[in-house]
Structure 1
Amino acid sequence: MNSKVENIYQLEGRVPVSKAIPFGLQHILAMFVANIAPIIIVAGACGLSSKDMAMLIQSAMIIAGIGTIIQLYPVWRLGSGLPIVMGISFTFVSIFCYIGPAYGYEAIIGAVLIGGLAEGILGLLAKYWTRFITPVVAASVVTAIGFSLLSVGAASFGGGSGSADFGSAKNLILGGITLACCIGFNIFAKSFWKQLSVLFGLVVGYVVAAAMGMVDFSALSDASVIALPKLMPFKPVFHPGAIVSVFLIFLVSATETIGDTSALASSGLGRDVKAKETAGSIACDGFISSLSAVFGCLPITSFSQNVGLVAMTKVVNRFTLLMGVIIMILAGLFPIFGTLLATLPDAVLGGCTIMMFGTIVVSGIQMISRCGYSQRNISIVALSLSVGIGFTQVPEIFSIFPQIVQNVFAENCVAVVFLVAIICNLILPKDMESKSEKAD
Structure 2
Amino acid sequence: MSNEDNTDDVDEPPIPEEARAAAGGAEQSDFVEYGIEDKPPLLESIFLGFQHYLTMVGATIAIPLVLAGAMGMPADVTAKLIGTFFVVSGVATLAQTTLGNRYPLVQGGTFSMLAPALAIIGVIASSGGGWETMILELQGAVIVAGIAEIFIGYLGIMGWLKRHMGPIVIAPVIALIGLALFSVPQITSATQNWWLLGLTVLLIVLFSQYLNNYNRAFRLFPVLLALVAAWLVAAVLSFTGIYAAGTAGYINFDTVANADPILAIYPLQWGMPQFTGSFIIGMFAGMLASVIESFGDYHSVARMAGKGAPNAQRVNHGIGMEGIGNTFAGLMGTGNGSTSYTENVGAIGITGVASRYVVQIGAIVMLFVGFVGYFGQLVATIPNPIVGGLFLAMFGQIAAVGLSQLKFVDLDKNRNVFIIGIALFAGLAIPAYMGNVGGASAFQTGLAGEFPFTLLEGVEVAGVSPLGIIATTTFVIGSTGMAVGGIVAFVLDNTIPGTREERGLTTWEDITEDADDFKPFWERMGDGDDERPAPGGD
TM bucket, shorter chain: 0.7 to 0.9
Give the match's secondary structure for 2:382: coil
Q: Distance in 1 between matches of 2:77 and 2:428?
A: 33
Aligned mate of 2:403, from 365, 385, 391: 365
Deviates more, 1:366-375 or 1:300-309: 300-309
Deviations 1:156-191 (A, max 9, x none): 2465xxxxxxx347x344434444443443344422
Aligned partner of 2:147 in structure 1 is 117
Aligned partner of 1:412 in structure 2 is 479
For residues 137 and 416 of structure 1, do their structure 2 counterparts lie closer, same or farther at Cα, with a shift above 3 Å needed? same
The answer as to whether partners of 1:178 and 1:348 remain within 8 angstroms in 2 is yes
Aligned mate of 1:423, from 485, 491, 512: 491
Aligned partner of 2:90 in structure 1 is 65
| Displacement after TM superposition at 1:283 (Å) | 1.5
Q: Distance in 1 between matches of 2:496 and 2:261?
A: 58
| Displacement after TM superposition at 1:334 (Å) | 1.3
Aligned partner of 1:286 in structure 2 is 323
Aligned partner of 1:144 in structure 2 is 176
Q: Distance in 2 between matches of 1:295 and 1:10?
A: 30
Aligned partner of 1:185 in structure 2 is 207
User: 1:10-89, aligned counterparts within 5 Å?
Assistant: 11=37, 20-46=41-67, 47=69, 51-74=76-99, 79-80=100-101, 82-88=102-108
Aligned mate of 1:300, from 313, 318, 338: 338
Deviates more, 1:115-124 or 1:274-283: 274-283
Q: Are residues 1:332 and 2:399 paired?
A: no
Equivalent AA in structure 2 for residue 186 of structure 1: S
Give the match's secondary structure for 2:56: helix
Give the match's secondary structure for 2:339: strand
For residues 377 and 180 of structure 1, do their structure 2 counterparts lie closer, same or farther at Cα, with a shift above 3 Å needed? same
Aligned partner of 1:393 in structure 2 is 432
| Displacement after TM superposition at 1:333 (Å) | 2.5
Aligned partner of 2:24 in structure 1 is none
Equivalent AA in structure 2 for residue 224 of structure 1: D
User: 1:254-273, aligned counterparts within 5 Å?
Assistant: 254-260=294-300, 262-263=302-303, 267=306, 273=310
Indicate the structure (1 or 2) with the bigger Cα radius of gyration.
Answer: 2
Equivalent AA in structure 2 for residue 412 of structure 1: S
Aligned partner of 1:382 in structure 2 is 421
Over the aligned positions, Cα root-mean-square deviation in angstroms equals 3.8
For residues 236 and 361 of structure 1, do their structure 2 counterparts lie closer, same or farther at Cα, with a shift above 3 Å needed? farther
Q: Distance in 1 between matches of 2:390 and 2:348?
A: 22
Q: Distance in 1 between matches of 2:352 and 2:315?
A: 23
Aligned partner of 1:225 in structure 2 is 261
Aligned partner of 1:163 in structure 2 is none
Q: Distance in 1 between matches of 2:473 and 2:236?
A: 40
User: 1:112-261, aligned counterparts within 5 Å?
Assistant: 112-126=142-156, 127-152=159-184, 155-157=185-187, 167-168=190-191, 171-190=193-212, 191-196=219-224, 199-200=227-228, 203-204=231-232, 206-208=234-236, 210-211=238-239, 212-213=243-244, 214-232=250-268, 238=276, 239-240=279-280, 242-260=282-300
| Displacement after TM superposition at 1:52 (Å) | 4.4
Q: Distance in 2 between matches of 1:256 and 1:273?
A: 11
Aligned partner of 1:164 in structure 2 is none
For residues 394 and 261 of structure 1, do their structure 2 counterparts lie closer, same or farther at Cα, with a shift above 3 Å needed? closer
TM-score normalised to the size of structure 1? 0.75
For residues 134 and 112 of structure 1, do their structure 2 counterparts lie closer, same or farther at Cα, with a shift above 3 Å needed? farther
Deviations 1:336-377 (A, max 9, x none): 100222233333322332333333333332234444524333
TM-score normalised to the size of structure 2? 0.63
Which structure shows the bigger proportion of residues in helix conformation? 1
The answer as to whether partners of 1:23 and 1:321 remain within 8 angstroms in 2 is no
Q: Distance in 2 between matches of 1:361 and 1:315?
A: 18
| Displacement after TM superposition at 1:291 (Å) | 0.8
Q: Distance in 2 between matches of 1:57 and 1:361?
A: 29
The answer as to whether partners of 1:54 and 1:335 remain within 8 angstroms in 2 is yes
Give the match's secondary structure for 2:182: helix
Equivalent AA in structure 2 for residue 196 of structure 1: L
| Displacement after TM superposition at 1:122 (Å) | 1.6
Percent identity over paired residues: 19
The answer as to whether partners of 2:54 and 2:224 remain within 8 angstroms in 1 is no
Equivalent AA in structure 2 for residue 138 of structure 1: I
| Displacement after TM superposition at 1:327 (Å) | 2.7
| Displacement after TM superposition at 1:197 (Å) | 5.5
The answer as to whether partners of 2:174 and 2:398 remain within 8 angstroms in 1 is yes
For residues 94 and 66 of structure 1, do their structure 2 counterparts lie closer, same or farther at Cα, with a shift above 3 Å needed? closer
Equivalent AA in structure 1 for residue 479 of structure 2: N
Equivalent AA in structure 2 for residue 113 of structure 1: I
Aligned partner of 1:4 in structure 2 is none
Q: Distance in 1 between matches of 2:485 and 2:354?
A: 35
| Displacement after TM superposition at 1:206 (Å) | 4.4
| Displacement after TM superposition at 1:317 (Å) | 6.8
Equivalent AA in structure 2 for residue 215 of structure 1: I
